[in-house]
Amino acid sequence: MRAGERRWRDERAALDAARGPLGETAGGLYPDAPRVAGTPLLCREEWIPAAPVPLESVRLEWDARPVPPAIADPPDGLPAGHRTYAEAMAALAPPRVFEDRPSHRLLAAAPPVLRFGPARYFDGVNVGESAAHELAAGVDGLPLRTRVGDPCDLTRRAALAAITTVTVTTTGSYVLHWRDPAKVAHAGGLHQVMPVGVFQPLGDEPPGLWPCMVREYAEELLGMGEDYGEGFVQEEWPFHRAMTAARERGRLRAYFLGLGVDPLTFALDLLTVVVIDGETFGGLFGGLVAVNDEGEVSMAPFDGTVPRPMQPAGAAALELAWRHRRSLIPRRAPRG
C-alpha cells in the first residue's frame, strides 16, 4: 500500500471513529438552515408536515430522465489510482455490505408529493462520504463542501433517499439499532431507529415506499437475506402479505413524518413511523435478532429520550414521533 493510500485509510478511520462530533461540527457550518424538530437534521420548512401523513396519502412521481446533478464523482482527496470515493473504499476500507445497486434519487419534495428519478448507490457515496472525509481530514477551506453549497438544494448532487422508520409498539417501546462501523458504509458507530434502508427497487417496478419498508423489516429485524432470487413477486411473499394484512386490519399503521438532510454526509432521509400493537408485533417479530448484518438490535422505551450519539435522521424521526404521540398512540398519556 502506497503512502497516499495509507493516509487516506487513516483519515477514513478517523471519520468512522468520530461521526458524532464531526456531525456537530458540520451542522455548525449551516447556522441559518432550519432543523427538524430541534435535531441536527437539516430541512426546508415545507418538508415537515404539521401532522403525520398516512403513508397511502403520499404521492410518488417519476422522472426517467432527470437533469444530471451539478456535482458527481468528485476527485477531491482521493489517493492516486482511484477514480471515485466508492472505488477507494472498495479497495482500501470496504464495509461488509457495499454494492452499487440501483437507487431512487429525490428530485423535488413538496409533501405529500415526492418526485424521484433513477440513480446508483455509489452516486451518493461519492459525494457525501467524500465531503465527510474532507471535514475529518481538516482540509483547508472545505472545497468540495463549498461547491455543494446548500445541502437542501436537490439539484447540486444526486440526493439518494433512504427510508428511516421508527417502529413503535402500543405497549410503549421502539426498536433501536447500533450501527457497527466495521459493517456499514454510512453512520457507523451511531445509534439509529429501525428499520432504515436506501430507497431502492428490486427490479423495474415503480418506486413504492411500503414494499421497500417491508423488505427492510425482514432484513433488519429478522435477519433475512437481501437476495430475493429470480422470479420473486413481493405481493405473493408470505411476510409481505402478513405485514400488509396487519396494516389493512388497523393493527399496524404507517405514517410519513417529513424529510431532512444529514449535515455531515448530505444523506437524505424520508422519515416515517410505524405503530404496531403489542400482540401483532410479537407475532411478526417474535424472532427479532440481537445482531444483524449492520449492527446490534434492542428494544428501548418510547419515552421522549434520544440515545447518544444518534444519527440525525433517527433522532429527528424519534422527536417527531414523540411530538405526535397523542395522535399516533391515543391511549398513551403525555410525559409528566
Residue 184 pLDDT > 80: no
* Residue 185: predicted pLDDT: 58
Q: Give CA angle at 23 (296, 91), nearest 5°.
A: 65
Of 69-83, 112-126, 228-242, 252-266, the poorest mean pLDDT is in 228-242
Q: Domain spans of the chain?
A: 3-327
Q: What is the per-residue burial (b if ≥16 Cβ within 10 Å, else e) of 294-324?
A: bbebeebebeeebbebbbbbbbbbbbbbbbb
What the block records as the C-alpha cell of 212 is 421497500
Average pLDDT rounded to a whole number, residues 212-238: 91
160 Cβ contact list (under 8 Å, min separation 6): 103, 104, 105, 106, 119, 121, 123, 124, 198, 199, 267, 268
Separation between Cα atoms, residue 100 and residue 15, nearest integer Å: 22
* pLDDT tens-digit series, residues 310-331: 989 999 999 999 999 999 997 6
* Residue 336: predicted pLDDT: 41
Residue 334 pLDDT > 70: no
The pTM score is 0.93
Which CATH superfamily does the domain covering 3-327 fall into? Nucleoside Triphosphate Pyrophosphohydrolase (3.90.79.10)
Q: What is the dihedral of CA 57, 61, 67, 69, to 10 degrees?
A: 30
CB-based contact 14:136 (threshold 8 Å): yes
* pLDDT tens-digit series, residues 135-169: 999 999 999 999 999 999 999 999 999 999 999 99
* Residue 286: predicted pLDDT: 87
* Residue 187: predicted pLDDT: 59
